[in-house]
Amino acid sequence: MESVNFKSIKINGGFWQKKQQMAQKTTVHAVYDRFYDTGRVSAFKCEKDSPVRPHVFWDSDVAKWIEGASYLISLGMGDKDLEEKIDAIVDDIEKNQLPSGYFNSYFIPCEPEGIFKNRDCHELYCLGHLIEGAIAYKEATGKDKFLKLMEKYVSYVEKRFIIDKDTAFVTPGHEEIELALIKLYDHTKNEKYLDMCRFFVCERGKRNEGLTDWSEEKYNQSHKIAKEQWEAEGHSVRAVYFYCAMADLALRDGDGELKTACEKIFDDIVTKKMYITGGIGSTHMGEAFTVAYDLPNETAYSESCAAIGLVFFAQRMLILTGEKKYADVIERVLYNGFLSSTSLDGKSFFYQNPLEIVTKNHTRHGSVKNKDPLPPTERVEVFECSCCPPNIVRFLPSLGSLLYTKDENAIYAQQFASSVAKITLGEHEITMTQKTSYPENGKISFSADSDVTVYVRVPEYLDTGKIGKNGYVPLHLRANEEKSIDFEIPIYLVEANPRVQANAGKVALLYGPVVYCLEGHDNICDLYNIRIDRNTDFTVMQNEALGVPTVTVDAYVRPESSALYSPISRERRRIKATFIPYYAFANRGESSMQVWTLIE
Amino acid sequence: MESVNFKSIKINGGFWQKKQQMAQKTTVHAVYDRFYDTGRVSAFKCEKDSPVRPHVFWDSDVAKWIEGASYLISLGMGDKDLEEKIDAIVDDIEKNQLPSGYFNSYFIPCEPEGIFKNRDCHELYCLGHLIEGAIAYKEATGKDKFLKLMEKYVSYVEKRFIIDKDTAFVTPGHEEIELALIKLYDHTKNEKYLDMCRFFVCERGKRNEGLTDWSEEKYNQSHKIAKEQWEAEGHSVRAVYFYCAMADLALRDGDGELKTACEKIFDDIVTKKMYITGGIGSTHMGEAFTVAYDLPNETAYSESCAAIGLVFFAQRMLILTGEKKYADVIERVLYNGFLSSTSLDGKSFFYQNPLEIVTKNHTRHGSVKNKDPLPPTERVEVFECSCCPPNIVRFLPSLGSLLYTKDENAIYAQQFASSVAKITLGEHEITMTQKTSYPENGKISFSADSDVTVYVRVPEYLDTGKIGKNGYVPLHLRANEEKSIDFEIPIYLVEANPRVQANAGKVALLYGPVVYCLEGHDNICDLYNIRIDRNTDFTVMQNEALGVPTVTVDAYVRPESSALYSPISRERRRIKATFIPYYAFANRGESSMQVWTLIE
pLDDT of residue A366: 64
Residues B42 and B161 in one domain: yes
B480 touches chain A (CB under 8 A): no
In a domain, A73, yes or no: no
Cβ-based contacts of B368 with chain A (< 8 Å): 214-216, 219, 285-286, 288
pLDDT of residue A593: 98
- Rg (C-alpha) for chain B, rounded Å, is 24
Please say whether the beta carbons of A482 and A440 come within 8 A: no
Q: What percent of chain B has pLDDT above 70?
A: 98
Instruction: Find the CB nearest B368 among A219, A497, A560.
Output: A219
Q: Answer yes or no: is pLDDT of A58 > 90.
A: yes
Please say whether the beta carbons of B268 and B233 come within 8 A: no
In a domain, B199, yes or no: no
Mean pLDDT throughout A62-69? 98
Mean pLDDT throughout B584-596? 98
Instruction: Find the CB nearest B216 among A294, A366, A565.
Output: A366
B277 touches chain A (CB under 8 A): no
Q: Answer yes or no: is pLDDT of A4 > 60.
A: yes
Mean pLDDT throughout A393-412? 97
Q: What is the mean pLDDT of chain A?
A: 96
Give dist(CA B534, CA B556) in Å, integer: 10
Could you tell me which chain B residue has the CA closest to the CA of A497? B564
Residues A468 and A428 in one domain: yes
Shortest Cα–Cα distance, B439 to chain A (Å): 19
Give dist(CA B484, CA B479) in Å, integer: 14
Residues B580 and B471 in one domain: no
Instruction: Find the CB nearest B369 among A214, A274, A363.
Output: A214
Nearest Cα to Cα of residue A173 among A119, A253, A236, A104? A119
pTM (predicted TM-score):
0.95
Nearest Cα to Cα of residue B348 among B14, B22, B15? B22
- Read off the pLDDT band of A465 (50, 70, 90): confident
pLDDT tens, position by position, A309-355: 999 999 999 999 999 999 999 999 999 999 999 999 999 999 999 99
Residues B47 and B142 in one domain: yes
Give dist(CA A342, CA A344) in Å, integer: 6
For residue B558, give the DSSP letter.
Answer: P
Q: Which CATH number is A454's domain given? A: 2.60.420
Give dist(CA B443, CA B486) in Å, integer: 4
Cβ-based contacts of B276 with chain A (< 8 Å): 565
Q: How many domains does chain B have?
A: 3
pLDDT of residue B366: 64
Give dist(CA B446, CA B425) in Å, integer: 16
Burial A68-86 (b: 16+ CB within 10 A, else e): bbbbbbbbebbeeebbebb
Residues B165 and B26 in one domain: yes
Interchain CB distance below 8 Å, B567 and A508: no
What is the 3-state secondary structure of B202-220? HHCCCCCCCCCCCECHHHH
Instruction: Find the CB nearest A505 among B235, B499, B598.
Output: B598
Residues B35 and B165 in one domain: yes
Shortest Cα–Cα distance, B66 to chain A (Å): 32
Interchain CB distance below 8 Å, A565 and B497: yes
Cβ-based contacts of B496 with chain A (< 8 Å): 564-565
Shortest Cα–Cα distance, A560 to chain B (Å): 7
pLDDT of residue B233: 95
What DSSP string runs through A118-140? Answer: -TTS-HHHHHHHHHHHHHHHHHH
Give dist(CA A311, CA A326) in Å, integer: 9
Give dist(CA B325, CA B87) in Å, integer: 41
Instruction: Find the CB nearest A288 among B291, B367, B564.
Output: B367
B212 touches chain A (CB under 8 A): no
Give dist(CA B330, CA B314) in Å, integer: 6
Could you tell me which chain B residue has the CA closest to the CA of A286? B368
Q: A118 CB contacts (<8 Å, ≥6 apart)?
A: A168, A169
- The count of other CB atoms within 10 Å of the CB of residue A112 is 12
Cβ-based contacts of B289 with chain A (< 8 Å): 367
Shortest Cα–Cα distance, B100 to chain A (Å): 36
Q: Answer yes or no: is pLDDT of A369 > 70.
A: no
To the nearest 10°, report the CA torsion of A224, A227, A230, A231. Answer: 50
In a domain, B233, yes or no: no
Cβ-based contacts of A599 with chain B (< 8 Å): 568
Q: With a CB-CB cutoff of 8 Å, which residues 541-580 of chain A face chain B?
A: 557-569
Q: Answer yes or no: is pLDDT of A187 > 80.
A: yes
What DSSP string runs through A221-232? Answer: T-SS-GGG--S-
Helices (H), A158-303: 177-188, 191-203, 236-253, 256-272
In a domain, B293, yes or no: no
Give dist(CA A489, CA A437) in Å, integer: 11
Please say whether the beta carbons of B458 and B472 come within 8 A: yes
Cα–Cα distances in Å, from A110 out to A48, A51, A115, A385, A386?
7, 12, 10, 19, 20
Q: B204 CB contacts (<8 Å, ≥6 apart)?
A: B171, B175, B221, B222, B225, B226, B242
Interchain CB distance below 8 Å, B367 and A218: yes
Q: Answer yes or no: is pLDDT of A387 > 70.
A: yes
pLDDT of residue B396: 98
In a domain, A59, yes or no: no
Give dist(CA A72, CA A103) in Å, integer: 26
Q: Answer yes or no: is pLDDT of B59 > 80.
A: yes
Name the 3-class secondary structure at B548: strand
Q: Answer yes or no: is pLDDT of A370 > 60.
A: no
Cβ-based contacts of A558 with chain B (< 8 Å): 495, 498
For residue B116, give the DSSP letter.
Answer: T
pLDDT tens, position by position, B167-209: 999 999 999 999 999 999 999 999 999 999 999 999 999 998 8
Name the 3-class secondary structure at B284: coil
Helix (H) or strand (E) run with residue A578 in it: strand A573-581
Mean pLDDT throughout B363-381? 77
Residues A533 and A593 in one domain: yes
Interchain CB distance below 8 Å, B214 and A368: yes
Residues A349 and A418 in one domain: no
Mean pLDDT throughout A7-35? 98
Mean pLDDT throughout A181-203? 98
Cβ-based contacts of A562 with chain B (< 8 Å): 271
Cβ-based contacts of B561 with chain A (< 8 Å): 497-498
Interchain CB distance below 8 Å, A364 and B501: no
Interchain CB distance below 8 Å, B367 and A567: no
Residues B440 and B545 in one domain: no
In a domain, A172, yes or no: no
Q: Answer yes or no: is pLDDT of B214 > 70.
A: no
pLDDT tens, position by position, B24-49: 999 999 999 999 999 999 999 999 98
In a domain, A240, yes or no: yes
Cβ-based contacts of A358 with chain B (< 8 Å): 501
Cβ-based contacts of B205 with chain A (< 8 Å): none
Q: Answer yes or no: is pLDDT of A457 > 70.
A: yes
- Read off the pLDDT band of A371 (50, 70, 90): low
Interchain CB distance below 8 Å, B563 and A271: yes
Could you tell me which chain A residue has the CA closest to the CA of B531? A505
Give dist(CA B311, CA B201) in Å, integer: 20
Q: How many residues in chain B?
A: 600
> Omega into A296 within 30° of 0, i.e. cis?
no
Name the 3-class secondary structure at B420: strand
Cα–Cα distances in Å, from A112 out to A46, A61, A95, A98, A156?
11, 21, 16, 10, 15
Shortest Cα–Cα distance, A365 to chain B (Å): 6
Provide the residue range defining the domain that includes B541.
491-599
**Pairing relation of β-strands B514-519 and B506-511?**
antiparallel
In a domain, A393, yes or no: no
B536 touches chain A (CB under 8 A): no
Residues A349 and A462 in one domain: no
pLDDT of residue B372: 58
Residues A411 and A452 in one domain: yes
Give dist(CA B342, CA B353) in Å, integer: 10
For residue B559, give the DSSP letter.
Answer: P
To the nearest 10°, report the CA torsion of B47, B52, B56, B62. Answer: -80
Q: B189 CB contacts (<8 Å, ≥6 apart)?
A: none
Mean pLDDT throughout A548-574? 97
A504 touches chain B (CB under 8 A): yes
Instruction: Find the CB nearest A505 among B213, B270, B505.
Output: B505
- Test the B interface: residue of A268, A297, A332, A368 with most B CBs within 10 Å: A368
**Of residues B72 and A212, more confidently modeled:** B72
Instruction: Find the CB nearest A285 among B361, B370, B563.
Output: B370
- Compute CA A425 distance to the chain's CA centroid, rounded to the nearest angstrom: 29
Q: Of B451, B486, B521, which closes a domain?
A: B486
pLDDT of residue A596: 98
Q: Of A464, A486, A508, which closes a domain?
A: A486
**Pairing relation of β-strands A506-511 and A491-496?**
antiparallel
- Read off the pLDDT band of B371 (50, 70, 90): low
- Read off the pLDDT band of A466 (50, 70, 90): confident
A294 touches chain B (CB under 8 A): yes
Q: Answer yes or no: is pLDDT of B212 > 90.
A: no
Interchain CB distance below 8 Å, B496 and A291: no
Give dist(CA A55, CA A106) in Å, integer: 6
Residues A310 and A339 in one domain: yes
Q: Answer yes or no: is pLDDT of A364 > 90.
A: no
Q: What is the mean pLDDT of chain B?
A: 96
Cα–Cα distances in Å, from B183 out to A565, B154, B162, B191?
34, 13, 19, 12
Cα–Cα distances in Å, from B386 out to B178, B271, B304, B311, B423?
21, 30, 11, 20, 36
Could you tell me which chain A residue has the CA closest to the CA of B356? A501
Q: Answer yes or no: is pLDDT of A475 > 80.
A: yes
Interchain CB distance below 8 Å, B286 and A365: yes
Could you tell me which chain B residue has the CA closest to the CA of A276? B565
Q: A267 CB contacts (<8 Å, ≥6 apart)?
A: none
B359 touches chain A (CB under 8 A): no
pLDDT of residue B368: 63
Q: Of B165, B182, B199, which closes a domain?
A: B182
Give dist(CA B335, CA B316) in Å, integer: 19
Shortest Cα–Cα distance, A416 to chain B (Å): 23
Q: With a CB-CB cutoff of 8 Å, which residues 221-240 of chain B face chain A?
A: 233-235
Shortest Cα–Cα distance, A291 to chain B (Å): 5
Interchain CB distance below 8 Å, B498 and A558: yes
